[in-house]
Structure 1
Amino acid sequence: MTRIDRRFAKLKAEGRPAFVSYVMAGDPDLETSLEIVKGLAGAGVDVIELGLPFTDPMADGPTIQLAGQRALEAGMTLRKTLDVVRALRESDDDTPVVLMGYYNPIYSMGVETFLAEAQSAGVDGLIVVDLPPEEDEELCLPAQAAGLNFIRLATPTTDARRLPKVLSNTSGFVYYVSITGITGAAEAAASAVGPEVARIKASTPLPVCVGFGIKTPARAAEIGQVADGVVVGSAIVERIAAGDAPAQVLAFVKSLADAAHAARG
């Protein structure tokens, strides 16, 4: 079992959803980013999604795009992102870490080299938004062979014919994108999300986490009622962009995590 598998098994036994937080590695700079990442577990985060800065983030809205630009301008690279994970593992060997981004930086490093480095750094899973199931031999299957979960996105437009293909080599959890469009856009609603989560769960034993459009503790609690996990990214990144100190960012994260965890309390 990976750290991701163990964490979701624990949460299932406790009867509560996971809280998953996304931050961009190196935003606004390496030192600040590392301080935030190291504080996430203490703020109640169950799974850390760490963004890989990339020059052409086509699935991301302005908030995440600008975070990636800030990180790149501060000198962030894929290797330095792996160093962030290594630094985290010096004090935290339990919290799962998922790298989320695009294939180009991984391809440029070389898949074999990247997977070896990621595994040794303590990475647990990958979300690569521009690699469809038809390209599983590129990265998905080698990643699974290296012991990393490969987490796939399902969306409101993933119909009954497409869903089995999306789920075929997915592991760790399924990431349900609650709205059509880019990150940081409309707000998610449990009334729309609940039936979709149930539809996906009917086809897989994996946990289903819901992200996109969750910006407040109240909305995190609402989604936590119907999903196995609640993912928040843009709302956290907005606090970093506004210049909030790491302690302020982490206090906001804790408010979201507490709300998600209390959803079924």
Structure 2
Amino acid sequence: MIESLKQTMPLRRDGFTFRQFFVAHDRCAMKVGTDGVLLGAWTPLGTARRVLDIGAGCGLIALMVAQRADPGVRIDAVELDPAAAGQAGENFAASPWSSRLRIFNGDILDFAPQATPGFSAQRGGKEDPGAGYGLIVSNPPYFPVGLATRSAERDKARYTATLTHRRLLDAARRLVARDGLLTLVLPTATGEEVIAMAQRGGWHLHYRTDVADRAGKPCHRVLLGFSPQAGELTYTTLALRAGDGAYSAAYRALTDGFYLSRPAG
């Protein structure tokens, strides 16, 4: 029913229409893009019952997780920019999963100490394995501070000055369950730096997918999954397009169920 309705509805110009939901992003500094779609489609959900999206923007990744997750999974999202947080809230309310999604407007560094403690917290001298989020997702800012854009909101979304990767890892450490997972999407070079930083902070890399724009080209993005617990690494690669420029079968399979029209192969 949802899909048939989408096929008859005119496409709105203030956002992006997916198969089961619409994401308005005209009031957000950063728009719907490939990085967010990749992370939302790729992130392993496991058995998490509580999910947190850090730096939610328009709410794209939280909505994608809601579509993929079991009906009992609850998803919280934190966004610093008031305009983006407001729009994410509207997108959540208009989605089929409105009762399972919540948006908080504020700094994750302020949110973390107030939320349920994660694997690093101590209760009675022992870690509480039931505390924290089973899954934390984030498409974090990754540009170093440089030439300012025309928008202060876009600067906050793009640059690591407000939320450095170290602070992001520390905040996630306070919030993640002992057996939980933190997933990120980053440029490849930045990802290598974050891997080293995370491992020094007690995280273990469980998942890594190197992403190239085309088959045979150097990878430009990396999808990462960290856990507080040690475990084996699952490593894969993904090319978004084949050599002829058409979307690859692997990318089409990954994003199947989200795009209104499947990318042509």
TM (norm. structure 2) is 0.36
Higher helix proportion: 1
CA radius of gyration, larger in: 2
TM (norm. structure 1) is 0.36
Q: Which structure's relative contact order is higher, taking Cα pairs within 8 Å and 6+ residues apart?
A: 1
